[in-house]
Amino acid sequence: MNQMLQEAEVQTPEAEEVQSPAATTPATPEPPPAPTHPRFAKPQRVAFVQSSWHRDVVEECRIAFLAEMEARHVTNIDVFEVPGSFEIPLHAQILAKTRRYTAIVAAGLVVDGGIYRHEFVADTVIKALMDVQLRTEVPVFSAVLTPQQFHETEVHYDFFRKHFAIKGVEVAEACASTLHSLERLRGQVAAGIVG
C-alpha cells in the first residue's frame, strides 16, 4: 500500500509538467455586457439648445448627449443653436410652450471675459431655466457650465472638451431617467393611483 502511494506521488509532478501553458494562464476576463436601458411607453422628443460661444468645446456635450440618448432609445432630438448662453432660456421657453418636446436640454460655456462678472450671467441663465421648467412642466436640463478659470490655451480647451463630453453623458442619463420617472408618474395620475 505504501508503494502505491509513492507511485501516485511520483506521477503527480509528471502530470503537472505535462499541462499546457494555456491551461495554467488565467483567462482574460470578458468585458461586462453593455447596459440595457428600459424603453419608453410613448415616443420621446427632446430639444437640445446649444450656445455657439466656444462652439468647439460645447459641441462635445452635444455629440456625447446624442450618442447616449440613442443608447437609451431616444432618437427624436432637435438641435437648436443660439449666440450665447444668455439666449438659451427664451428659446427653451418658446420650445416648451409648443408642447412638441418632452424635455429640453441646454448646453453652454460661460467664461470670465474680464469685462463683467460671468457668475451673474450663469446664475441668471440657470434661474431662468428653472422658471421655464416650473411654468411649463416640461423638464429642462442644464449643461451650462461656468468654470472658475478658463484661459484661451490649448490645455484648457482640451480639458473642457473632455469635461463637456462627460457632461453630455451625464445630462443624457438625467434626462432619460427623469423622462421615465415622469412617464410612470403621469400614468399613475391618469389611473387615479396618485393625486
Q: Which residues pair with 142 in a beta bridge?
A: 106
Catalytic residue among 117, 135, 184, 186: 117
Angle at alpha carbon of residue 112, lines to 110 and 115, rounded to 5°:
120
Sign of CA dihedral 68, 72, 78, 80: negative
SS3 147: coil
Could you tell me which residues come within 8 angstroms of residue 61 by beta carbon, excluding any fewer than 6 positions away?
Answer: 50, 107, 143, 164, 165, 167, 168, 171
Q: Is 117 designated active site?
A: yes
Q: Would you give the DSSP letter of residue 44?
A: -
Concatenated DSSP letters for 150-193?
--SSHHHHHHHHHHHHHHHHHHHHHHHHHHHHHHHHHHHHHTTS
> Any idea which residues carry the catalytic annotation?
117
